[in-house]
Structure 1
Amino acid sequence: MCRKMPVKPASGIPLGIPLEMLMAMTRYPKQGKGSRWTELGLKAIPPSWKGDYVADGEGLTGEVRVASDGRVSISFKYGYKWRGAGVKHYCGTWPDVTLAGVRAERDRARALVKTGVSPGDAKRAAKIEAQATVEATIAEAARQQAEDLPLRSMFEAWLRDGVKRADNNAELQRSFEKDVLPLIGDKPVRRVDEGDIRAVLRAVIGRGTYRMASRVYADMVQLFAWAEARKPWRALMVEGNPTKLVELTKLLPHGCDPDAERDRVLSADELRELRAKLAAMEAAYAAAPAGAKYDVDRPVKKETQLALWICLGTLCRIGELLKARWEHVNLTAGEWFVPAENTKTGVNWKVYLSPFARRQFTALHELTGDTAFCFPARAARGNAPTDHVCVKSVSKQIGDRQMQFKNRAGPLKNRKHDNSLTLSGGRAGAWTPHDLRRTGATMMQQLGVSLDLIDRCQNHVMAGSRVRRAYLHHDYAAEKREAWAKLGERIEVLLAD
């Protein structure tokens, strides 16, 4: 098959090996020295040649290796002189690399040597260039990714670092998730323009929710103003801040002022009408036969009805009421304590319950007194409620029953869709639970209660210098108790007519 012949050290024979060992280790094709190996010849090499070298001529020598399973492979190297020293250049391992491939690598290295270039240096330079290419590709991808950051990412960064509202940004996030992000949330910031801002606002205005459009617009203005001053967002707004090019008033119906203060006050007749409508719903449902309950509209939840009358009788905000816990309600003393974290003003507030308001809380206690919350959230089956209802739940229930003032294509899932709570034929417009707070305050004013005391009963931030607020600490408990009692008496008389 081949001949094992003694040789003199020559280019291609591994350097640093004693001549005697080389003579015993170097093997040639069976045609003898000077002939070249073939693929078939290499395949015929037995495992017993492990550690021997095969010479292929022109400086190319391979070391025979044997794997644990007996498979033979040959690691080929090209030997050459470089600056007076012997150097070996790896050309590949057969059979992973064909014999033709090994020789091609040897020829490439030999050509480099002839031009005065070290194959080793050329190989290292190629690796450096390849790594540089990879790094450049990664950097370019990162640059493109940074340039294509979507509006959603900017909004999330703003929520995390740029805005902190009393509700922990819950309402802000809800409004963006509903009205902004579905339309332009995935669009790169650099491509968001004034047309996109207008599209968002027109969608909100199209529902007839003008105040919401004003709030969404204000929030987007705040978001872009924050981003405009910070990296990486300011670099992405290549065309400037798009909200600066949008005027909300030009998108709203003529004469519409979404920021105008609501001034809806329910009249005495409307309060009586509300009482009558709530009672009629209860009566109709109670009178329906057991098998026909689904044919009759369900009445407004009893808890919701009581919440409305409590708002009227205490001047509280609906959100403050729906967060109330029974541990803060003393029915015996007729007091309701509202902790600072539940109030809009961030200060503790005590309500002195009139007999009218106390009766509403007593009726509510019969319904939910076995829970921690006055208005507990719906619990999973078999579990006690661990939180209060959504602070918007009562407003939604009332709004869903005044559909003539809304621009909805149809009923929302699991929501009412009628005009059963429209008052005075709709001539005075829609009403909200918050309007009852205003109505109660107006009734107090009609009873001769001072404006300053009404403000205290509503837990408003009191006017005056900081010095006055720091030094004057009379709590007006007696005066407020009397004012609430007068209001309760007035409501009792009004509803008794």
Structure 2
Amino acid sequence: MATTRYPKQGKGSRWTELGLKAIPSSWRGDYIADGEGLTGEVRVASEGRVSINFKYGYKWRGAGEKHYCGTWPDVALSAIRAERDRARALVRSGASPSDAKRAAKIEAQATIEATLAEAARQQAEDLPLRAMLEAWLRDGVKRADDNAELQRSFEKDVLPLIGAKPVRAVEEGDIRAVLRAVIDRGTYRMASRVYADLVQLFAWAEARKPWRALMVEGNPTKLVELAKLLPHGCDPDAERDRVLSADELRELQVKLTDMEAAYAAAPAGTKYGVDRPLKKETQLALWICLSTLCRIGELLMARWEHVNLTGGEWFVPAENTKTRVSWKVYLSPFALRQFKALHALTGDTAFCFPARAAAGEVPADHVCVKSVSKQIGDRQTQFKKRAGPLTHRKHDNSLTLSEGRAGAWTPHDLRRTGATMMQQLGVSLDLIDRCQNHVMAGSRVRRAYLHHDYAAEKREAWAKLGERIDVLLGGFNQIRLEAKQA
């Protein structure tokens, strides 16, 4: 049975810190009386440490109640008595210490919840543009490439400038700053795309929570006119119409050939002083684009399993095409030679244009679909507004054609050039469209019922184009050879 213990001085005396320290572990479960309603239960931990749990006993509404005052030695005896005195004062004032304790907990919790709510409100008000973009990419837009190009564009041109800025603080001046940075590079078409994407982003956000509430000053893109930021007379949405002339195609071949010859002729140990020629794979990609009318991105994603070098066919799966319609290219002898030369370089991989891989590893993907365009652009820097060379990139005008009089050219221009050459050879416009895998015009009924694949006609059209390119380039090579021999 539990025993009530008193200080050595006897009942009515008060315990001291030294007296508590002297309590033996054998008093486990006993009570010590400290007077004025304060009693403590002796507890002994497994390692023999003695502690005392103090409570203040009082009457409340006719029943006995106890109020916890603290555990010694974690709480000093003086603090325990002070808590007893506070509880006793509450009882005398007509308040229950237990109710007061519960009320204090409720008030403390309410204070915490209010603080968290205020923090959440402040955080919501300070949501950055990056968070709005992420929400839009996740729920508001779905493009054919799974938004990869859209995200790349924002990461390059938008987020570095205003990505961390709260949506509520984004102003028309911020939008203009983003667009001017793109325009200053001379990439007017890209500026138009970025502007259109920003308009779409803010229009989506303007209709939804929590973004709608953050645009207290309105949609900033509605106050920006792209035309007023562009050079006078510039139409960024005008379609390119650059077509390489026969002389330019010959000039391109000469430049590529001469660069390779100069590099190969450089003595060992001096090659670092000679410009490296354009990668052979890139050169072949250019001639394949010209002779097949394919898009450069479709070509760079090609896999060898889809190229039939024996039958002279290249199948382009729907997921690799802009139109999301698969198509088959019937390779002319000229185009087939390019693919065979490419196979000698990359045929031991799954991809026609494999990405770089560590030594001994198999390439896990194709090269970036922009890689060839970058290589061509880096060799026509007179048309670019660059402060200087980009890291690990070329910076010259070695592939500028016609001394730049006709402007810059791109790999996509070769697709247009090949189509124009087909037109000159008498191929019908409808058949040229089919050779380019364009979405064919006409009613849905016609597209549903007319399924002739025009394989023979397309094969003949591509063959004519290949013959024309062979004559154009091969004949010129013969002239150069005869001139050198003379």
TM-score for the superposition, normalised by structure 2? 0.93
Are residue 386 (structure 1) and residue 364 (structure 2) matched? yes
Are residue 166 (structure 1) and residue 182 (structure 2) matched? no
**Paired residue for 1:82, among 50, 60, 66?**
60
Deviation at 1:75, TM superposition (A): 2.2
The residue aligned with 2:115 is 137
Counterpart of 1:221 in structure 2: which amino acid?
V
The residue aligned with 1:5 is none
Decide whether aligned partners of structure 1 residues 54 and 374 sit closer, same or farther in structure 2, where only a CA change above 3 A counts: closer
The residue aligned with 2:443 is 465
Single out whichever of 156-165 and 206-215 deviates more from structure 2: 156-165
Mapped to 2, the partners of 1:203 and 1:459 lie a distance apart of 35
Decide whether aligned partners of structure 1 residues 402 and 120 sit closer, same or farther in structure 2, where only a CA change above 3 A counts: same
Are residue 209 (structure 1) and residue 191 (structure 2) matched? no
Q: Which secondary structure does the structure 1 equivalent of 2:159 belong to? A: helix
Q: CA offsets, 1:150-185, max 9 Å, x none?
A: 211221222222222122211111111111111111
Are residue 480 (structure 1) and residue 480 (structure 2) matched? no
Decide whether aligned partners of structure 1 residues 29 and 214 sit closer, same or farther in structure 2, where only a CA change above 3 A counts: same
The residue aligned with 1:18 is none
Decide whether aligned partners of structure 1 residues 56 and 369 sit closer, same or farther in structure 2, where only a CA change above 3 A counts: closer
Q: Which secondary structure does the structure 2 equivalent of 1:290 belong to? A: coil
The residue aligned with 1:304 is 282
Counterpart of 2:307 in structure 1: which amino acid?
V
> Any stretches of 5+ residues in structure 1 without a counterpart?
1-20
Single out whichever of 385-394 and 326-335 deviates more from structure 2: 326-335
Mapped to 1, the partners of 2:455 and 2:46 lie a distance apart of 95
Mapped to 2, the partners of 1:166 and 1:236 lie a distance apart of 30
Q: Which secondary structure does the structure 2 equivalent of 1:324 belong to? A: coil
Percent of paired sites with the same residue: 89
Q: Which secondary structure does the structure 2 equivalent of 1:61 belong to? A: strand
The residue aligned with 2:214 is 236
Aligned residue-pair number: 475
**Paired residue for 1:443, among 377, 398, 421?**
421
The residue aligned with 2:354 is 376
The residue aligned with 2:14 is 36
Deviation at 1:405, TM superposition (A): 0.5
The residue aligned with 1:6 is none
- Bigger CA radius of gyration: 1
Counterpart of 1:60 in structure 2: which amino acid?
L
Are residue 266 (structure 1) and residue 266 (structure 2) matched? no
Mapped to 2, the partners of 1:411 and 1:234 lie a distance apart of 43
Counterparts of 1:175-324 in structure 2, within 5 Å, are 175-324=153-302
Counterparts of 1:141-156 in structure 2, within 5 Å, are 141-156=119-134
Mapped to 1, the partners of 2:34 and 2:225 lie a distance apart of 83
Decide whether aligned partners of structure 1 residues 37 and 366 sit closer, same or farther in structure 2, where only a CA change above 3 A counts: closer
Single out whichever of 386-395 and 455-464 deviates more from structure 2: 386-395
Decide whether aligned partners of structure 1 residues 138 and 289 sit closer, same or farther in structure 2, where only a CA change above 3 A counts: same
Mapped to 2, the partners of 1:331 and 1:32 lie a distance apart of 110
Q: Which secondary structure does the structure 2 equivalent of 1:63 belong to? A: strand
Mapped to 1, the partners of 2:78 and 2:428 lie a distance apart of 105
Mapped to 2, the partners of 1:80 and 1:247 lie a distance apart of 78
Single out whichever of 486-495 and 63-72 deviates more from structure 2: 63-72
Mapped to 2, the partners of 1:351 and 1:458 lie a distance apart of 9
**Paired residue for 1:62, among 40, 61, 66?**
40
Q: Which secondary structure does the structure 1 equivalent of 2:270 belong to? A: helix
Mapped to 2, the partners of 1:398 and 1:68 lie a distance apart of 79
Q: Which secondary structure does the structure 2 equivalent of 1:123 belong to? A: helix
Single out whichever of 424-433 and 175-184 deviates more from structure 2: 175-184
Mapped to 1, the partners of 2:354 and 2:432 lie a distance apart of 30
Counterpart of 2:84 in structure 1: which amino acid?
R
Q: CA offsets, 1:409-452, max 9 Å, x none?
A: 11112211100000011111000000011111111112222111
Deviation at 1:230, TM superposition (A): 2.0
Mapped to 1, the partners of 2:67 and 2:85 lie a distance apart of 11
Mapped to 2, the partners of 1:312 and 1:391 lie a distance apart of 17
Mapped to 2, the partners of 1:323 and 1:68 lie a distance apart of 71
Are residue 52 (structure 1) and residue 30 (structure 2) matched? yes
Single out whichever of 76-85 and 454-463 deviates more from structure 2: 76-85
Deviation at 1:284, TM superposition (A): 0.6
Mapped to 2, the partners of 1:231 and 1:355 lie a distance apart of 59
Single out whichever of 47-56 and 178-187 deviates more from structure 2: 47-56
Q: CA offsets, 1:449-491, max 9 Å, x none?
A: 2111111111111111111111111212222222222222222
Decide whether aligned partners of structure 1 residues 364 and 27 sit closer, same or farther in structure 2, where only a CA change above 3 A counts: closer
Deviation at 1:262, TM superposition (A): 0.4
Counterpart of 1:56 in structure 2: which amino acid?
D
Counterpart of 1:400 in structure 2: which amino acid?
D
Q: Which secondary structure does the structure 2 equivalent of 1:336 belong to? A: strand
Counterparts of 1:321-400 in structure 2, within 5 Å, are 321-400=299-378
> Any stretches of 5+ residues in structure 2 without a counterpart?
477-486
Decide whether aligned partners of structure 1 residues 37 and 329 sit closer, same or farther in structure 2, where only a CA change above 3 A counts: closer
Single out whichever of 193-202 and 432-441 deviates more from structure 2: 193-202
Mapped to 2, the partners of 1:67 and 1:469 lie a distance apart of 87
Mapped to 2, the partners of 1:377 and 1:46 lie a distance apart of 78
Deviation at 1:395, TM superposition (A): 0.7
Counterpart of 1:71 in structure 2: which amino acid?
R
Single out whichever of 356-365 and 215-224 deviates more from structure 2: 356-365
Single out whichever of 421-430 and 208-217 deviates more from structure 2: 208-217
Mapped to 2, the partners of 1:331 and 1:76 lie a distance apart of 92
Deviation at 1:49, TM superposition (A): 3.5
Counterpart of 2:334 in structure 1: which amino acid?
F
Counterpart of 1:305 in structure 2: which amino acid?
Q
Mapped to 1, the partners of 2:268 and 2:56 lie a distance apart of 99
Counterpart of 1:426 in structure 2: which amino acid?
G
Q: CA offsets, 1:91-114, max 9 Å, x none?
A: 222222222212211111111111
Mapped to 2, the partners of 1:340 and 1:73 lie a distance apart of 77
Mapped to 2, the partners of 1:68 and 1:325 lie a distance apart of 72
Q: Which secondary structure does the structure 2 equivalent of 1:29 belong to? A: coil
Deviation at 1:310, TM superposition (A): 1.1
The residue aligned with 2:482 is none
Mapped to 2, the partners of 1:278 and 1:142 lie a distance apart of 61
Q: CA RMSD in A?
A: 1.7
Mapped to 1, the partners of 2:288 and 2:450 lie a distance apart of 30
Are residue 420 (structure 1) and residue 383 (structure 2) matched? no
Mapped to 1, the partners of 2:317 and 2:45 lie a distance apart of 79
Deviation at 1:261, TM superposition (A): 0.6
Q: Which secondary structure does the structure 2 equivalent of 1:337 belong to? A: strand
TM-score for the superposition, normalised by structure 1? 0.91
Counterpart of 1:480 in structure 2: which amino acid?
K
Mapped to 2, the partners of 1:203 and 1:193 lie a distance apart of 16
Decide whether aligned partners of structure 1 residues 399 and 73 sit closer, same or farther in structure 2, where only a CA change above 3 A counts: same
